Amino acid sequence: MTDDDCVKFLQMALPRLGLHWPGYRRVRGLVRKRLGKRLRDLRISNLRAYVPYIENHYEEWDALDQLCRIPISRFYRDCGVFERLEHEVLPALAETAAARSRSNLACWSACCASGEEAYTLVLLWRLRIKRRFPQLQLRIVATDIDAHLLERARSGCYRSSSLKALPEDLLTAGFTRRETQFCVRNEFRSIDFLQQDMRKVVPDEEFDLVLCRNAALTYFAPPLRCKVMQRVISRVRRSGALVIGIHESLPQGLSEMVPWPGARAIYRRRDADAVPTD
């Protein structure tokens, strides 16, 4: 399959799945490799022959949807964001929660892949922040559509390449080495991993912090993006924070969210009583 054939196919097929070709431009090599394997498994000689096949086998769209999931993630991805979370956002959210006599700080890692950002949050909180808020427990829900990735997330073991950006003290305190892998220590595994298709469901509860990075706003087509982000924002507690990918932007019209002062890719949900400033 040539790159050209793959691009033309994706430009035709992705919108049918509610997905957005420009988001796939840089990662199309991965999808192309998977498509090649799929065609071999189905004994279909090329993409031109796959088009009538998929049109006549409705369930094949689900198989294609799976091929289009991009599992890339790593610990402490975009370190500036985690520095800002550690020094400003989590302490501010914790202070608000403590002032309201709450015992939990609730976070949601949406489209969590193999759990890298969820575990990063646990490590930051437990090793660097919690001592200032001993009365608060961090509760983390992490969701993804992909059962295989969630299984890896629950197993909590990673190759060193996923951990390159993680500060040394978090790596040493957070992991034990098992042969070629690094495994999260048991005391940092308190995360609820749930299989959810974000296009259809979001968790029931409200969260102080939601991370929705490098998934919906990159790979979903604009109309779906808006719908999904409205639902996501409905799960951000008032005065809570939302983090998106550093190359992403929020769709227009989500006026509940204002940029976190001085921060890139972090937003705060207006408080009910606040007077809008624009």
Ligand X SMILES: C[S@@+](CC[C@H](N)C(=O)[O-])C[C@H]1O[C@@H](n2cnc3c(N)ncnc32)[C@H](O)[C@@H]1O
Q: Is 199 left (phi over 0), alpha (psi -120 to 50) or beta?
A: alpha
* Cβ proximity to ligand X, 93 vs 244, nearer residue: 244
> The tokens of 133 are what?
């808020």
Helix (H) or strand (E) holding 99: helix 90-99
Kindly give, in sequence order, each residue whose CB lies less than 8 Å from that of residue 228, ignoring residues fewer than 6 positions away: 198, 199, 216, 220
Q: How far is the CB of 199 from ligand X (least distance, A)?
A: 5
**Cβ of residue 154: shortest distance to ligand X, in angstroms?**
14
Between CA 224 and CA 20 the distance in angstroms is 10
CB closer to ligand X out of 112 and 136: 112
Is the CB of 140 or the CB of 215 nearer to ligand X? 215
Q: How far is the CB of 136 from ligand X (least distance, A)?
A: 24
How does strand 175-178 pair with strand 181-184? antiparallel
Distance (Å, whole) CA 236 – CA 205: 9
Q: Which CB atom, from 102 or from 251, has the smaller least distance to ligand X?
A: 251
**d(C-alpha 12, C-alpha 6), whole Å:** 10
**Tokens found for residue 121:** 């949050």
Query: Could you say which DSSP state residue 194 is in?
Result: E
Please state the closest distance from residue 67 (CB atom) to ligand X, in A. Answer: 11
Least Å distance, CB 103 to ligand X, is 27
69 vs 136, beta carbon nearer ligand X: 69
Query: Shortest gap between Cβ of 201 and ligand X (angstroms)?
Result: 9
C-alpha closest to that of 32 among 5, 65, 63, 60: 5
Chain residues binding ligand X by CB under 6 A are 69-73, 77, 111-113, 116-117, 144-146, 149, 197-199, 213-215
Judge contact between 18 and 199, C-beta under 8 A. yes
The smaller minimum CB distance to ligand X, of residues 112 and 129, is found at: 112
How far apart CA 264 and CA 100 sit, in angstroms, is 28
Q: How far is the CB of 245 from ligand X (least distance, A)?
A: 6
The identity of residue 254, as a single letter, is L
**Closer residue to ligand X in complex, CB, 214/239:** 214
